[in-house]
Structure formats: C-alpha cells, structure tokens
A = this chain, B = another copy of it.
Amino acid sequence: MHSKFLGAALALALGSGYAQDAFAQVKPEVMVEQRQAAMRLQAKYLFPLVPMAQGKIPWDAAIVTRNAGYLDVLIRLAWDGFDPGTQGVKSRALPEIYSDPAKFKAAQETVFADMTKFVTAAKSGNEAAAKTAIGDVAKACSGCHDTFRQRQ
C-alpha cells in the first residue's frame, strides 16, 4: 500500500508546486499563494451574505448557516502564511504586519470574535444578530486591509 500511497501523494505534490520532499519547508511563494487562496474563499462565502444582511436580497437561512460554517474554518487559514520569510514575495502585504505584530494579532482577534458571534447567531437562527455580525465581520476584514494591505 505504501508505494501506491506515495505515488498518489507525489502526483498531488507535482501538480501543486510543492517540493517532493515531505520534510522540505514550504516555499515563501507557496505560502503567499495559500494565504491569498484563503482570503479569496473568505470573499466567496462572505460577499453573498452582505446584501442579505442589508435587506437587499431575501435572507436565505440555509445559505447563511452553510457559509457561517465554511467561514468559521476559512477565517483561520491565512494567518500562518504571513511568515517573515515571505516579505520578498510580491504581494499587497504591508511591512506593518511584521513591524507591529501586536497590532496585527489584535486585528486577527477582532475578526475571530466577530466570526464567533456570527456563527453562534447563524446556528441558533437569530437573524437579527446574524445580520449585525455579518456587518461586523465585513468591517473587521476591511479594517485589517486598511491597515495592513496596500491599496490598489
């Protein structure tokens, strides 16, 4: 079984820019791609909720609950990609991430707290609280971007 298993793993690895050596450090450019991937998916599942929270389109409790579950995971996946070793890779990440790690950490904790409120509200079917929390999550995202991401 092990050789087949290894074959599968290598096939996956070869298709994804990973080093074939399982012990190798993840390359900085891969770390940047991974953190950008996490934020892209956060956008995919947060954005459709915003017009619902604003009352511009009908509230769909099934979509809201599903996306809350997805976002509860997705919100955790970018942070370890902000490794000092990635500073040489082209991205919109600002140096403040590394020069003021306490502030960056605080921004992380803000969005975690807002996300927890959202997930709790969505799971308990508290539509009003969920709507407020969606706004708070969006504001936490934007707040962090305003400080730590280069404007386009």
Interface string of A34-62 (1 = CB under 8 A from B): 10111111011011101101101100000
Nearest opposing residue in chain B for A139, CB measure: B8
Q: What is the count of identical protomers in the complex?
A: 2
- Whether a CB of chain B sits under 8 angstroms from the CB of A11 is yes
Contact of A139 among B4, B34, B39 (CB under 8 A): B4
**What is A's interface to B at a CB cutoff of 8 Å?**
1-2, 4-9, 11-16, 18, 22-23, 33-34, 36-41, 43-44, 46-48, 50-51, 53-54, 56-57, 69-70, 73-74, 76-77, 135, 138-139, 141-142, 145-146, 149, 152
Q: How far is the CB of A5 from chain B (nearest CB, A)?
A: 4
Q: In the complex, A35→B114 CA distance in Å?
A: 26
Helix, strand, loop or mixed for chain A's interface? helix
Known contacts A12-B43, A142-B11: A2-B54 contact under CB 8 Å: yes
In the complex, the answer to whether A15 meets B73 with C-beta atoms within 8 Å is no
CB-nearest residue of chain B relative to A5? B135
